[in-house]
Structure 1
Amino acid sequence: MADYAVAHQQFGDSHYSFNRMSWIKPNFLWMMYRCGWAQKENQERVLAIELRKTHFDEILSRAVHTSFKKDVYECK
């Protein structure tokens, strides 16, 4: 996945799923910690992306909580 992304400057190929959940990482050091300093299996490469704030805001506007929040999702 990383080879394709670097070569084509976009995500894609058969190893990438646009249906998979994505996580916004707050900073580089936290990301490096989570991937075991790029030592965990299948996490040896860490990609950084650059995007405009408007695009970031759009992605963030579609975010959902990773656990149920009764006050947010309760049916009335």
Structure 2
Amino acid sequence: MIVVNLDVMMAKRKMSLSQLSEKVDITLANLSILKNNKAKAVRFSTLEAICAALDCQPGDILEFVPDEEAEP
């Protein structure tokens, strides 16, 4: 399973969801879905915009966790 650590990077950059939403021009609802690990997919263009806004790499946001270690 892929875990999205967007909240961790946002905290490290002291950026709120609404600030990130403005910077990357993505709705709060869609960012919230991504942040809460409810997204089924993410566009590379979205990932690129988030990485640019948070000055990070995709691997800082996305993490692979084997299913037996994943949260229920």
TM-score by length of 1: 0.29
Higher strand content, 1 or 2? 2
Higher helix content, 1 or 2? 2
The structure number with the bigger radius of gyration is 1
- Higher RCO structure (Cα 8 Å, ≥6 apart): 2
TM-score by length of 2: 0.29
